[in-house]
Structure 1
């Protein structure tokens, strides 16, 4: 016989109210998702009212196999522990649960037990599940950001800008982080569950998830697929035919979903900005304030000597040292309890697989202040990051007998215009001064010496400055046009100079991989005293189109050697070819769940037809990534138009991102902003006139 007096317990997690209070409503309206260090309330109902002498016990389980079990205290105890209090209301009990500000993040399972006075369990409700995230709004949390006005950008904003191009021609690419899109949070926890540490020792991994240093370091290793079950495989040159070319992605969500749906098989392909953007999505989703950083003229110093060496014949001496036009990483805000004082705040995390750190391809977290002050012993990976923003570039010449001679040392070109998206809108914020003291300042010299870097070398081999000056000038050419590059040799001496001038134009990728020569010229000229000689190099579309990379970069190098002068001089210019515009029109007002139509158009600027045209469209809160293929070829000068209808899924300011790709023209981007409003409520007439 069943005991009719056993109370049946039901639990209402009050997800809507709690998620609103914990700023997680964007992630999910149905499931309970809360942030640590802030209380949340659940309601317990029994089929019979519980006898007053009975009491409740709450037990939490964490980990895939319940590795961690926590019994909640019935009142606030000493120390940072989970506890709960209760109050009666009509026929239910309201329980308020308090999590410590250093609780482990993850999916918790809660069991509510009804206990009789003699300690017997009278009823039980388990299988109640909720997620706990980091809480940058909570003072006690290690990721607490004191200036809360920054959190709408660094936690809540799902749209970003990634700065690319060259230090003197910076362009921005829109990106959809989409950290609150459906099931992205689940994939973020799946990323943690598949790390090497989690697979080796699940219990220890779950316990360490209270620490943002550990969690962010794990994510940095897991965003790239080198040596683990990570999310993205990197590739720095074509072919990309067995995957998606890095420049075609417009957001993180399709990448994370594909990785999860493929059973944690690496998604192909990423390059630095894609790795950084996916890391930004995961970190923001889990509650760690994060921003994406671009370092222009970024050095990759493999041998750790704080210099990047190039031979005068335009080849790199060490095939591994390189200088990238730009390199992207992220910064996350956290307290560093594992380091001496003065290391809290922004931390560099770099998920692009470059060098191993503790045996895995990852980099950071490293305090930005440690880089600025030259404290290279600070964990993690400070010396490598210091070189990225501070290395010298040294040009060498090789004598006939094989001896190497230094032509020049460039101490100023690396680490320029370090950039991030401003919290005040779609504008660039320069954060270079957070990474280094002003160029040439006393303090900068001190830091270099502390970091073990040579300081006093003259910039061009000899102590006497030479009488020749060399400059490469160019306009901002458009991809598809012919354009001129002007090399100017100026003779500041009192006598005419016989000069051998070598010019080389080549296609390169953003990280300096050579794709082929467009043109090479060598001429002998006489440059009169106190005069300048100008040489015009005409670059034709049909020449550079054969070898241009998807980054649309041409590097022009000029070398001038004067008779009677020992040291040749060199000038280098990276020319970024600008891309045509995509036009996006969104007529009418946007209302949630009601159809809107986007009209996208584009004109072929090239003197050649485009084949295999495809538009990719996506937007957080608007629609999942969709592709529209263009029928047939697009002739030179022809306009192509496509339309796409969708129903916005969430209210607020939203961005629609479009990418166009074809055989000859790739990575053409467009973005449109729309404000999605709530549905208007049905109008109910108000009757007045009755007292």
Structure 2
């Protein structure tokens, strides 16, 4: 309620926040502030003085946007006759109801609403300027550029605060729960604060605000502002330890503290992020603003720095990586971005729908570290001239992998070409629960199909069936086999050599084990074997590399993965072959035992437990328990060591504060084992009867 001078014409303006917010699906953000979606009317009430004589006076509305009134909008009175803001008035004495209509392409933002009492000739008798509201995109409005007609999709891509992020490798897909928290306290305000701190806003605030009607523009700003490269963005990236002056990227489980820390620190970037964290924060911001958004993981993702649609790995004769340019191509085990749904009125027909936005800073786009929005449909069809950054994204899901050996004399030998190992199992959380949905077919036609070759030619590449693009196969066919090892155990990697020829084959085999990181960089060798092998005609020979915990544990990264490379050189011939394997470790889980259905404001009891899988004690064990609407972040430090194979159990008591589907998440850290996760989904009802 905003009170004016009781002697004036306007005694009170009631924004009817609860009623409007409920109708506009924003009550989860706030009950007490007016938050509405564009293209949908909202009602306010104005209490007028009985003696004001409204036969001679009228009400008028004026909107102000920006800290310095960069945009001023007069709301037209009467029936809708043209595009723009307008309102209808019901009643002329006492309590007057105004129904305010915003256009479906209105500027999103924080509005100040002036209610004016005027004479019939326009003279202002009184002004009430205390009313304020926020306007968001409206994916429920048919005329909004972000409109989706499917309520199931809207419940997932706008209203769901919980998600699943897919990680690992294409062969061993893992998952981690994430709380996007787009409706948590102050998150909406922080989202607009992010827009206000962009380079565009700081350079020309009025021009920036006027463009915020456009989700293409705002999506691009968010892509740039989630990373802090070159602006006042949210997250600093770091891809290797140490993270001692910040938070390890693997430690985060929710976007909310990241956004709060950035805002509370006066727009100082938060340490540290990697691709899934960048994408998760972008998903939070975009959903909060009203743009349907989902988190995407591309397994075996190419980073093509020179735009030739191939990822070139240069090795010396010792199989050591060469990077004379200081900046090389790479293949990431997985890479995350988001897709946002919107019309592309700036592009030819056929480019509406899901758009790739990638906030991880990789390459410059028009002078800043951002990527997209780019239509997924354009990537599939090879239309690489459309905005924005289509060639880079096309390469991420389609590039060839080429390994070269650089000889001592500087000559290069192509040893392995892989045309179907990039862009695999592209994944997002299903709208039907916590299962994985594969969206690879949205990005590309089936590998090796006629249509795929046509797309490549359209994208400016020659057909992939050219024999000159392939390394010549040797007499021996080589493959690597392994189980998924448990972190803490010794295990075997088996290299099979198959001789399909009619005579014995002799070769030199080099096996190399390296620390693996998800982006393929910062590899450290910890095991190497070289031996001569002989394989009888039409026989299979096996070589075993034993990988020991005591060796890999000293080097393994926080991604708990190793890479094995096998190089085969035929004796007496200039034939070289190579195969690689990316081997992720299985990690233990923190087990959570709680009821699946509980009631709000009622005490819940449960337990968490963990078993040490390592052959050595774990020191300085710490459990972190958190869950939005369930429990505030709680840290429990263990007394003493956790011995090999020892199980520890903690009692858990909490009182849910908010109803709905909630995630309880637990993280365990110690000296030798970090970022061990556990999660439980809990349905919180308003009262016990609601659960029956």
Q: Does 2:189 align with 1:189?
A: no
Aligned to 2:507: 499
Deviations 1:349-405 (A, max 9, x none): 000010111111110000111111111111111111111111111111223422112
Q: Secondary structure at the match of 1:514?
A: coil
- Which of 217, 227, 230 is the equivalent residue of 1:227? 230
Residue 209 and residue 625 in structure 1: after superposition, are their counterparts in 2 closer, same or farther (change >3 A)? Answer: farther
Shift of 1:5: 5.6
Q: Offset of 1:149 from its aligned partner?
A: 2.3
Correspondence for 1:490 among 475, 482, 498: 498
Contact 1:181/1:621, CA 8 A, preserved across alignment: no
1:129 pairs with one of 129, 132, 135? 132
SS at match of 2:524: strand
Whether 2:83 is the aligned partner of 1:80: answer: yes
Whether 2:9 is the aligned partner of 1:7: answer yes
Q: 1:636 to 1:3 in 2, by over 3 A?
A: closer
Instruction: Give SS of 1:449's match.
Output: helix
Deviation at 1:608, TM superposition (A): 1.5
Q: Which runs of 5 or more residues in structure 2 are unaligned?
A: none
2:111 and 2:292 map into 1 onto residues whose CA distance is: 23
The count of residues paired between Structure 1 and Structure 2 equals 680
SS at match of 1:149: helix
Which residue of the partner structure matches residue 529 of structure 2? 521
Q: 1:16 aligns with which of 15, 18, 23?
A: 18
Task: Choose which of 465, 490, 494 in structure 2 pairs with 1:456.
Answer: 465
1:384 maps onto 2:392 in alignment: yes
**Corresponding residue SS for 2:230:** coil
Aligned partner of 2:593 in structure 1 is: 585
1:70-469 alignment runs, 5 A limit: 70-88=73-91, 91-313=94-316, 314-318=319-323, 319-454=327-462, 455-458=464-467, 461=470, 465-469=473-477
1:456-494 CA distances to partner (integer Å, 9 max, x unpaired)? 33388456x432110100011111111111110110000
3-state secondary structure, aligned to 1:655: strand
Normalising by structure 2, report the TM-score.
Answer: 0.95
- 1:640 Cα deviation from its structure 2 partner: 2.4
- State whether residues 470 and 489 of structure 1, in contact with CA within 8 Å, keep that contact through their aligned partners in structure 2: yes
Offset from partner CA, 1:25-49 (integer Å, 9 cap, x none)? 1111111110000001011112436
Instruction: Tell me: CA distance 1:462–1:19, structure 2 relative to 1, closer, same or farther (3 Å).
Output: closer
Query: Retained in 2: the 8 A contact 1:160–1:421?
Result: yes
1:613: how far off? Answer: 2.1
Contact 1:408 1:460 in 2 (8 A): no
Contact persistence 1:654–1:674 (CA under 8 A): yes
How far off its partner does 1:657 sit?
1.5
Paired residues for 1:620-639 under 5 Å:
620-639=628-647
> Closer, same or farther in 2 for the Cα pair 1:673/1:123, shift >3 Å?
same
Alignment CA distance shift 1:459-1:19 (3 Å) = farther
For the residues of structure 2 that align with 1:3 and 1:527, how far apart are their CA atoms?
A: 98
Decide which moves more: 489-498 or 119-128: 119-128
- Residues 1:61 and 1:638: Cα distance change in structure 2 (over 3 Å): same
- Contiguous gaps of at least 5 residues in structure 1: 683-691
**Could you list the per-position Cα deviations for residues 297-343 of structure 1 after superposition, in whole angstroms to 9, with x for gaps in the alignment?**
10101111111112354344444210000000000000111111111
**2:568, 2:6 → 1: CA distance?**
99
Shift of 1:7: 2.8
- CA shift in 2, pair 1:11/1:441, >3 Å: same
DSSP 3-state at the match of 1:167: coil
What root-mean-square deviation, in Å, do the aligned CA atoms of Structure 1 and Structure 2 show? 2.0
3-state SS of paired residue (2:76): coil
Contact kept in structure 1, 2:500 and 2:538, CA below 8 Å = yes
Whether contact under 8 Å (1:162, 1:172) holds in the other structure is yes
CA distance in 2, matches of 1:236, 1:121: 60
Distance 1:31 1:598 in 2: 36
Please list, as runs of the form range in 1=range in 2, the aligned pairs for 1:662-673 lying within 5 A after superposition. 662-673=670-681
